[in-house]
Amino acid sequence: MTVRKNQVQLTATEKRRFVDALLELKRNGQYDTFVTTHNAFIMSDTDNGDRVGHRSPSFLPWHRRYLIEFERQLQAVDPAVALPYWDWRTDRTAGSSLWAADFLGGTGRARDGQVMDGPFSLASGGWPLTVGVDGRGFLRRSLGAGGRQLPTRAEVDSVLAMSTYDAPPWNSASDGFRNHLEGWRGANLHNRVHVWVGGQMGTGVSPNDPVFWLHHAFIDKLWAEWQARHPGSSYLPAAGTPNVVDLHDTMRPWNDVTPADMLDHTRHYTYDTVA
């Protein structure tokens, strides 16, 4: 069974094998298909139209399935690899071991935002960016630029306390747990972390930065923590909602999985700490 661990707990060997598997998916072309898929959804999910991957109730089950697909590809390269998660409540500075040269590399240089160290730098040669919104073919970051702060534990707790999963109009204007976790309303958790990292992470092609997976693995874990806190609360809406994925509707692009299928993550993986 796959166990997803806090990235600070990874051994040097686990870090190296995770990085090597990422580099192999990049080399064989599979990595970029994930970037393309994410961007296609982010550009087409709209508040008043069809919405599946973002700004909608299925934000959480969609990303759960998307990460499972990605993790399976990593495991096809190295069966020992699992997606780690980044708990940005506690691991909240650019000085974190997450950003060391033996793992994801650090922030970008001032001139052009280019990441200069680690396995995903331009100089390393193994991480060309081919799916982009502009012509720059190198990974960029601006960790915490402008004095931005990552969400605090108190802010996360305030969102986890919301007992209603989601609410009409089921989009970026909604009240409830999902939209507050996604960040279009209130304390702003998920969206703010994308902006804090900067570079490609702030764009529609955010999976170009490997930290995307660690960020979303933690968002996924927060969903599991929310479920544990609110056992009587369920995914909403239940049925008959135009443009929105109801509990038993299938989700694009897979068309063989529903939110109901994604509610129990333990069928696919567990976490190193109980929710």
Least distance to another protein from the beta carbon of 5, Å? 26
146-to-25, 143, 172, 197, 219 alpha-carbon distances in Å: 33, 9, 25, 11, 24
Q: How many residues bind another protein (CB under 8 A)?
A: 35
Judged by CB, which is closer to another protein: 112, or 256?
112
Q: Which of 112, 147, 239, 255 binds another protein (CB under 8 A)?
A: 112
Does residue 135 bind another protein (CB under 8 A)? yes
CA-nearest of 84, 130, 134 to 113 is 134
Q: Which of 14, 30, 42, 117 binds another protein (CB under 8 A)?
A: 42
Residue 58's Cα: distance from chain center in Å? Answer: 14
Contacts for 195 with CB less than 8 Å, ≥ 6 apart: 148, 201, 202
Which 3 state secondary structure label does DSSP give 108?
A: strand
Least distance to another protein from the beta carbon of 102, Å? 28
- Can you tell me which residue has the tokens 């080399």? 27
Interface stretch with another protein, choices 37-45, 75-83, 99-107, 225-233 (CB under 8 A)? 37-45
Interface stretch with another protein, choices 5-13, 80-88, 96-104, 196-204 (CB under 8 A)? 196-204
Does residue 76 bind another protein (CB under 8 A)? no
d(CA 27, CA 19): 12
d(CA 150, CA 91): 9
Judged by CB, which is closer to another protein: 15, or 45?
45
Does residue 191 bind another protein (CB under 8 A)? yes
Both structure tokens of 211: 């930290």
Q: With the CA atoms of 111, 116, 121 and 125 taken in that order, what torsion angle do they form, in degrees rounded to the nearest 10?
A: 100
Least distance to another protein from the beta carbon of 145, Å? 11
Does residue 48 bind another protein (CB under 8 A)? yes
Does residue 69 bind another protein (CB under 8 A)? no
Q: Which residues in this chain contact another protein in the complex, by CB under 8 A?
A: 36-37, 39-40, 42-44, 46-49, 55, 112-113, 132-136, 169, 171-173, 183-184, 190-192, 194-195, 202-206
